[in-house]
Structure 1
Amino acid sequence: MARFPPLDFLDTARTFAPCGMPRPKNPFFSNFETDKEYTLAWTSNHDGHAGGVRITLLDAQERSVARLLPMNGGVDDWKRLEDSASGPVPLTANITFPSSVLSECHQCTLLIERQASEYGATYIFHSCADVNIVPSGKLEESDEARCNGNGRWTGTACACSKFFEGRACQYRVDCHSDVDCGSAEERGRCRKEEQPSFAQKSCYCNYGYFGRHCESSFANEDSTDNCFNYENLVDSGSSPMFAKYGVFNPRCYDTKLLNDKGDDIIYSRVIGSEVEIIADFKTNGWLALGWRPQNLDPSCRLFPDIGLPRSRSYRQAESGIAKTNGFYSSALKAPLHGMDCVDIVSASVIDGRSKIRDMYSRDRSTPLEDTFFEGEMSLTAAYAIERDDRTVMMFRRNIREIEPSDHPLGPGKIFGVWAKAGASGSDGGADFFKYHARNRGVTVFDFVKPNDMPSKGNPLIYIAKHPNPSGVNAGGVPSPPATTSTPKPTPTTTTPEATTSTDESPIDDNSVFDHSSPVFKAFDQPEHTSASRLPGSITSVSRSPVASTPFNNEVDEATQQPPARIIAPNSAAFTVSIPQITVTALIAMLLSWF
């Protein structure tokens, strides 16, 4: 499996060779035997790049040991991929680690590289998996070695743990069957994903339910609130109260048009300490909405801490590639791209059932669910339908959020991004994430006016690089003012503001949701392969050693860790060094704010 987290936009222009990210302090190694055939599978969600791919085995010092794809390939040889107009297709290859080339290889690396030669001969995406290779018949008889730690080795096969499948328990699933999605209570159904996904199966929920296993529902406790139909779908013509698709009353909401044609519309309203947001887009496929504080410091790209897998903490002072999360320091200091450090909610609807995900994007990689970063589903309500060639998604969330994979929704203006599947063409009607050409944009949201900010709620913790005594933090989010009794203004409609949709370029900061790099997904033996799993194509194994060539690991020095600024509602700000905030002290501070 790929190094954690499985990012798929690691390029040679911004990230260190050979892998684009450092090896974690506690890496997970997949284990293989020589002279046995395995199926290697990976994915790349962008189909349009020119060039090919190659697979190389590196030793513990990241020197080339053998070229696995193309067979007997030289330094400049690539396996050409056929262009695909129907979306990303599984790329798999049966490979062998021949004992004639190596007897064993401990703490080694499988490197996959993908060309994008339309941007230059040296522009390449890269990704790695950490591996151990042992002589045939010498693989340890343990759960970790045989079943990737995701199951129990019985002596002849793996008995996989809950929510893992595959010959070596290498595939993660959100459900095994409809039962895991609450089918007995008519909450949802389990569906195999048609395209590459980090979960091979997912729950799609009936109207009124949401969550990974359709375990959550929303109970409207305000009987006088007739703005959204939380209970059941009705025909739009039979319910004047819910004039929009029988789902909501647009007069209750502030309205923002994302483009001049009015094809894509955002509705929002503040309800107590929460914001209710509706995205009404012209598409019969997926849609996504994202946001972050304006003028957020570029150091936000240091989260998540890749050197400490699955850790929320900002990194301690280190040297070299680990210190910069794999970025060159010039890339780390560069202005944020539209997809950098973005909090995202996405929705897909298939057969009348929806999958709504709370996600985060470190960079232009495919967004990952918050659970990849030790976060959680932060939505308190979530609904999605398809009507009249449109996809409509509603979600509720607390205005203030304190986990690192979430951003506050106000008060004041925040940076926004949006994207959707196209209405026609190669990505028309796609219910899975993929590169979306021009069906995206950047904008400015203003969900919560300062006077609408509630006086009670979760404390707002915000990490800023530079203390700012002016009352506005470095992310452009003002400290919440004291509560006033000013009534909520009449819902308004705003025309498109700073919304763009530009041609894609690897260095175009106005583009969003660009998914390009290949990422290793899983290993299997060929008799257990499935054509619907993931993209790539390894076809052969090099039978002769390739000359050892060290990769360029020269370190570009980066700035030291910035101070942190913690802002609580109606309180003064103070500056501390991140490592000095202990768990006990943080809990004490949180308690003092209530």
Structure 2
Amino acid sequence: MYDFDFLDNVRTRSPCGMPENATGTGIFKTKLITGSKISITWHMAFPHGGGFRIQILHGNGTILHELTPTNNTNPWYSISNSTIQSYLATLPSGFTCDHCIIRLTRNAKEWSTPSGPYIFWSCADVEVNNFQCNQLNCYHGGSIASNCNSASAVCSCPNNQFSGDRCQYMNECETYADCNNNGLCVTINQDYYYPLKQCFCSAGFYGYKCSKTSNLTVVMPNDVSSYSYTKLDNSSEIWYKILSATNEVEVIHKTLSTSWVGLGWRPQGLKASCQFFPPGAAPCLISGPESAVGEGGNQPEGNSESTSKPEGGAESTAQPEGNAGSTAQPEGNAESTAKPEGEGGSSESGGAAGNLVTHAMDCTDMVIGSARGNMFRLFDYYSRDRSTPRMDSYFGGEDSITAAVGSESNGYTTLRWRKQLTAEGTTDHTIQDEVLDVIYAYGQKYPYSHQFPSGLHNSHRLTNYYNDDELKYHGYQNRGRKSLNFFGDSKLVTNTCSGSWKTGCTGNSCSNNLQWNIYNDGTVHFTMSAVTDKWIGLGISNDHKMAKTDAIVGWVGKVAPVITDRYISSYAPPPVDAVSNVNLLEGSKLNGTTTLKFYRPINTSDSQDISLHGCHYFIFAIGGQYTDSNFAISKHASTPFITSRKICIDVNQCSKSYSPLGIDIMTSTPCSGSWGTRCLNGQCASNLRWNVYNDGTVHFQMSADTDKWLAMGISVDKKMPSSDAIVGWISQGTAKLRDRFLKGYFIPAVDAITNVDLINGSLINGITTLNFKRAMNTSDSQNDVSLHGCHYFFLGTGGSYDDNNLDIGVHPQTPAVAKIPMCLYASRCTQFSPPGTGAAGTIFTLIHLVIAVLSVLISSIF
């Protein structure tokens, strides 16, 4: 058996979570004497509350005997002390078996649900009989004397690196000489987590027992300008570069920690079938649990305890006084919610094999190391699932580290290493010029961070359960995940008043793009695009974490592009801000690529906006579903990208950077007015003019630089829903105009009753102009807004149109909205009679234009 330490009753089959002979080298059975006392030991990476249970099972999984005290109300032992890791059991008198199983199960009480307990299990194959002591088996080359005493049979071990009554425990070293005189033998672990003593190497040496020579001897070079840099979190950072000449990657990993430090990676888009490794272990992966925790049930935060493993045995079988295996895993999810991502009740195998891997640790190549002063140890690891990562050699692979050095100073552990880019086996992933899923973690100490209460609460081991460099659970805080290309973040370009950032790159081809320009009007204009039909989002963060991040999320829906202003206060999908300070300019979905153009003021009065002034990390995320009707969004589908350095914005340095949007020019009196949008040098992108006449009508002229449809809206609250709309276009020299009503954020239908009269229209030199009139008040109270009083006007342009059924397409740009309401009062306009409406067509008289100038308002579009 493989002694993985995350074998549970949700993802693996009863009775043990691991098939017999999983290694393919035969079933190794430990021989035990009938009625004898056996000391059963195990290691725990995470002390779940709930107690443990030890049983003897038949080879087919049937329970034969309970070795721990149990009763009908509670089958679990030692509930009050969750840190116990040994138990002296007595085998039943007269009981024999040729092949039975000793099984340890632990109850993760904090993760149980009403549908059943959440348990971890670990097994050992044994043979129980009336053996003579000289018939018992020893491990690691140990032997037992022919004149032994059956009451206290003890094996003689080949050297002092092995211990235990069957030589089942093995240390890496006992003296300096065991480390090839190239390092120190340091006592690290406790609680039966062997090897308790390990070699820490001097600079210039690395590997098992410091047996390899390293050409890296300096931990942190004076000049790191040739490296790319990524801040992982406030305590951990990496520098990295590709050594093309030797086909290697070099990484410097510095962390504020005196415990172990790990970094891992895997290709994006990896399938869950990667967990069918090792092949012999795959048959015990299931799609449903034995004592099923419900689909929505909480799942364990960290890993539990390992299966017991006879050191040096061909497969995993729990030994009397045997080792339970290894430890905590970097859970790897920085955006985890109350239920760690991927830890739902569904299986990671079986029918899910064609799906993507669900957890950050699944099928991940890793490098894990630790340091004491100027001495260090570092190895190539593989993480199959949420079990503790194991050295590549455990799976029959090769350690592909080519050089390493490390140190611990002033509370910081720094590891520098090189590794071959090309994978040499299943336990390695090739590093190519593409974005990888990257995880990191480092060991925790008291005060520890557990997401939910564990067995350590009120324990006598409260302060010393997690010791330096013990590869146990890292805690909820000391881990995270990134999307990273080890070939560098050269695709991040920053200038004084502009910048660009490309992510999701394979070579020079990038699927995601962000561009920004800073203008002297106090705004930043963004263009973001991604190869997706889901939502896309930009985050602005002070510390590159998702919490307390300003977010701008948008998509191109069925009707129109959408942009929303949000604030991320936790790890849940963020709600839309009560006040939006983001303005959509344009949106499109073309050839599978969603593109959104928008702008935001550098400073706003909204406490849920982060000022863009100064330096911040940018975050690029891709959804995730969206709902057009209520702007709800689901979680991002992949790990968001985060800039490797902060992006700095200072509008004071951009005084000569002029906004392309221009200004709005507005004139208004009770009887007339005009409004030009996005005006530059006297030329406006669109125009609206109006006159109020004594016959109770308002005459309008709207024009824009477009050959698509053109529309004006009338709203009481600046919002699209419940707005009156008048939409028209010029087709083959003929003007078309229709009265419509906006009931929501979708294309408005034509009113059953039309209260708009077309006067004339033209399309000249690309400018569409429509002249029309409408009564101040109409009898259509359902679909017409009264023009009397004060209203906000909209101006929008399409969008395609259909002459036959009068359908219109979505507007590619956000309609302009007047910043102030326009107030019309027919009672004040009794002296103005409507003009003639002949072929000459103008409806605006000179006197109205003169009166209009009496009140001129020039305001920024912002």
TM bucket (normalised to shorter chain) is 0.5 to 0.7
Change (3 A) 1:384 1:68: same
As a proportion of its length, which structure holds more helix?
1
TM-score computed with the length of structure 1 as normaliser: 0.64
Deviations along 1:64-107, one digit per CA (max 9) or x if unpaired, are: 110111x25448511133456xxxx551111111215x2x0121
Change (3 A) 1:288 1:351: same
Distance 1:399 1:54 in 2: 45
Deviation at 1:364, TM superposition (A): 0.5
Distance 1:208 1:194 in 2: 29
Deviation at 1:161, TM superposition (A): 4.3
2:240 maps to 1:268:
yes
Gapped regions of structure 1 (runs ≥ 5): 220-229, 234-243, 308-314, 453-475, 482-493, 504-508, 512-594
As a proportion of its length, which structure holds more strand?
2
Out of 332, 344, 350, the position equivalent to 1:329 is: 350
Deviation at 1:340, TM superposition (A): 0.7
**Kept after mapping to 2: 8 A contact 1:288/1:344:** yes
Q: SS of the counterpart of 1:411? A: coil
Out of 335, 339, 347, the position equivalent to 2:361 is: 339
Distance 1:332 1:83 in 2: 39
Partner of 1:43: 43
Distance 1:250 1:191 in 2: 34
Root-mean-square deviation (CA), in Å? 3.5
Deviation at 1:253, TM superposition (A): 1.0
Q: SS of the counterpart of 1:62? A: coil
Distance 2:72 2:191 in 1: 32
| Structure 2 counterparts to residues 546-561 of structure 1, below 5 A | none
**Kept after mapping to 2: 8 A contact 1:147/1:153:** yes
**Kept after mapping to 2: 8 A contact 1:324/1:332:** no
| Structure 2 counterparts to residues 134-173 of structure 1, below 5 A | 134-135=129-130, 137-138=131-132, 141=134, 145-148=136-139, 150-155=141-146, 156=148, 157-161=154-158, 164-173=162-171
Distance 1:41 1:500 in 2: 42
Distance 1:56 1:510 in 2: 43
Partner of 1:459: none
Change (3 A) 1:348 1:95: same
Q: SS of the counterpart of 1:160? A: coil
Q: SS of the counterpart of 2:110? A: helix
| Structure 2 counterparts to residues 420-439 of structure 1, below 5 A | 420-422=442-444, 425-426=447-448, 430-437=468-475, 438-439=477-478
Change (3 A) 1:55 1:194: closer
**Kept after mapping to 2: 8 A contact 1:290/1:417:** yes
Partner of 1:533: none
Change (3 A) 1:500 1:62: farther
Deviation at 1:280, TM superposition (A): 1.0
Rg: which structure is higher? 2
Q: Which amino acid aligns with 2:238?
A: I
Percent pairwise identity: 28
2:7 maps to 1:10:
yes
**Kept after mapping to 1: 8 A contact 2:183/2:375:** no
Change (3 A) 1:321 1:187: closer
Deviation at 1:207, TM superposition (A): 2.4
Deviation at 1:371, TM superposition (A): 1.1
Deviations along 1:423-468, one digit per CA (max 9) or x if unpaired, are: 751477631111122210011121126999xxxxxxxxxxxxxxxx
Distance 1:477 1:363 in 2: 27
Change (3 A) 1:498 1:218: same
Out of 376, 381, 391, the position equivalent to 1:354 is: 376
Q: SS of the counterpart of 1:153? A: coil
Q: Which amino acid aligns with 1:258?
A: L
Q: Which amino acid aligns with 2:267?
A: P
**Kept after mapping to 1: 8 A contact 2:41/2:192:** no
Change (3 A) 1:207 1:375: same
Deviates more, 1:125-134 or 1:165-174: 165-174
Q: SS of the counterpart of 1:95? A: strand
Deviation at 1:203, TM superposition (A): 1.0
Q: SS of the counterpart of 1:336? A: coil
Change (3 A) 1:496 1:407: farther
Out of 398, 403, 406, the position equivalent to 1:381 is: 403
Q: SS of the counterpart of 2:480? A: strand
TM-score computed with the length of structure 2 as normaliser: 0.45
**Kept after mapping to 2: 8 A contact 1:59/1:106:** no
| Structure 2 counterparts to residues 71-470 of structure 1, below 5 A | 71-74=69-72, 76-82=74-80, 89=83, 91-100=85-94, 102=95, 104-119=96-111, 120=113, 121-135=116-130, 137-138=131-132, 141=134, 145-148=136-139, 150-155=141-146, 156=148, 157-161=154-158, 164-183=162-181, 186-191=182-187, 193-219=189-215, 230-231=216-217, 244=220, 247-259=221-233, 261=234, 263-271=235-243, 272=245, 273-307=247-281, 321=284, 329-330=350-351, 332=353, 335-422=357-444, 425-426=447-448, 430-437=468-475, 438-448=477-487
Distance 1:51 1:352 in 2: 41
Distance 1:154 1:192 in 2: 33
Distance 1:93 1:153 in 2: 24
Distance 1:280 1:51 in 2: 37
**Kept after mapping to 1: 8 A contact 2:363/2:385:** yes
Distance 1:360 1:51 in 2: 30
Deviation at 1:249, TM superposition (A): 2.6
Distance 2:252 2:350 in 1: 39
Distance 1:374 1:305 in 2: 12
Partner of 1:20: 17
Distance 1:477 1:161 in 2: 55
Q: SS of the counterpart of 1:213? A: helix
Distance 1:355 1:332 in 2: 36
Q: Which amino acid aligns with 2:176?
A: D
Deviation at 1:29, TM superposition (A): 1.2
**Kept after mapping to 2: 8 A contact 1:45/1:435:** yes
Deviates more, 1:147-156 or 1:351-360: 147-156
